[in-house]
Structure 1
Amino acid sequence: MIAIVDYGLGNIKNIQRAVEHLGYDAQLTQDAEIINQADAIILPGVGHFKDAMRAINQRQLLPILQNINNKPMLGICLGMQLLFEHSAEGDVDGLQLVPGQIVPIQSPYPVPHLGWNNLISDNKQLEHDVYFVHSYQAEMSANVIAYADYGTNIPGIIQYDNYIGIQFHPEKSGEYGLAILNQALQGGF
């Protein structure tokens, strides 16, 4: 069973449909017991970093999410950013599960980074067009396994221990996006 954390900010129904399309049982939840019993956890997100951390705290999800260390935990879009230590968006700490900072996109191209962009990776199987929508990004680091060139390098997929982040929307990126989602739910890259 895949637990999709419902903290009030997210594209959760589309994520749920994508996970179910892949053949998994997906449950939208805020319940600690369901999250702890899940085979994998998805932290979705659309919106403002500070609002998301406030919602996570209000629902008392912070200690639950910070103690998932024995199974895949996948952050999608804002959910990926929440995995990091701190964000400039609202000047607030994240879940502090992945080292690094979330910073504004500094690009000669329009921000937000909106639309299709090709991933670049040492793993040629990851190099496909995917759909992005965001104004902030993780900093480049050794944990980045695929990135997009948008006038600057933008991490598209990161993995640190059991934590996997996907900055783009796999549920909106066609069959390739679903394949990435499936691989992440099975433990990573």
Structure 2
Amino acid sequence: MKQIVIIDYGLGNLRSVSRGLEHAGASAAVSSDPGEIAAADALVLPGVGGFRDGMEMLGPLEATVREQAGKVPVLGICLGMQMLMESSEEGGLRPGLGLVPGAVRHFPRVPGMKVPHMGWNTLTVPADEPLYDGVPDGSYVYFVHSYYASAPAEHTLTTTEYICEFASSVKNGRVYGVQFHPEKSGATGLRILKNFIELA
């Protein structure tokens, strides 16, 4: 059984992500130990909250995450995806991990449109992407976010429309990020997690 390590840096929905991975067929461990992280078959970087807090709290593990990102599959979820990008506007322009090209921006203010973007929305699913194997175009997943990723087309896996079109998932080599919460997205989310496990 593949050993997936969920990186515990103090900000994340660790229990629900762990349950989701276990339902999808993985052995999931939650750890802040660099040795355990380095020994994993794949890594998940979860996150709930602000970008600045996330980067500061990840600090001691940042070098380990960067090093492993070239060796094993990595999946960033929600804030975890945003931290994979080069920079974020949240709390003033701040650098991210830089593992995926692109920047994180605040949704434009549009009368009648609420921020955060919260609830179910659709994905434009690419035809030949292993992470989305068996996931039909237009599938619904669950979002909660006030900032969105803008990434080059070659690093954008799926897009979603809310106020503007944004990258709802990204990829660079073996590094993946999803803005939505697969662990809260029913059968579609479990299929995406299962596909990620199979990449390990």
TM-score class, shorter-chain normalisation, is: over 0.9
> Cα gap change, 1:126/1:159 in structure 2, threshold over 3 Å: closer, same or farther?
farther
Q: Secondary structure at the match of 1:120?
A: coil
- Distance in 2, Cα, partners of 1:118 & 1:21: 23
**Unpaired runs of at least 5, structure 2:** 128-134
Q: Retained in 1: the 8 A contact 2:26–2:197?
A: no
What root-mean-square deviation, in Å, do the aligned CA atoms of Structure 1 and Structure 2 show?
1.5
1:139 paired residue number: 150
Q: Confirm or deny that 1:104 pairs with 2:106.
A: yes
Q: Retained in 1: the 8 A contact 2:149–2:168?
A: no
Kindly report which structure 2 residues correspond to 1:75-114, keeping only aligned pairs within 5 A, or say none.
Answer: 75-90=76-91, 91-106=93-108, 108=110, 109-114=113-118
Q: Secondary structure at the match of 2:54?
A: helix
- Aligned-residue offset at 1:141: 2.0
1:25 paired residue number: 27
Aligned residues: 186
Q: Retained in 2: the 8 A contact 1:83–1:95?
A: yes
Q: Confirm or deny that 1:177 pairs with 2:181.
A: no
1:118 paired residue number: 122
TM-score, reference length from structure 2: 0.88
Q: Confirm or deny that 1:73 pairs with 2:74.
A: yes
- Distance in 2, Cα, partners of 1:121 & 1:74: 17
- Distance in 2, Cα, partners of 1:99 & 1:10: 23
Q: Give the partner amino acid of 2:136.
A: Q
Q: Retained in 2: the 8 A contact 1:126–1:146?
A: no
Q: Confirm or deny that 1:12 pairs with 2:14.
A: yes
Q: Retained in 1: the 8 A contact 2:122–2:140?
A: yes
**Unpaired runs of at least 5, structure 1:** none
Higher relative contact order (CA 8 A, sep 6+): 2
* Identity rate, percent: 41
Alignment partner of 1:148 out of 160, 170, 175: 160
2:131 paired residue number: none
- Aligned-residue offset at 1:23: 1.7
Alignment partner of 2:176 out of 129, 148, 164: 164
Q: 1:109-139: per-residue Cα shift (whole Å, max 9, x none)?
A: 2111100001113337243011000000110
Q: Retained in 2: the 8 A contact 1:72–1:186?
A: no
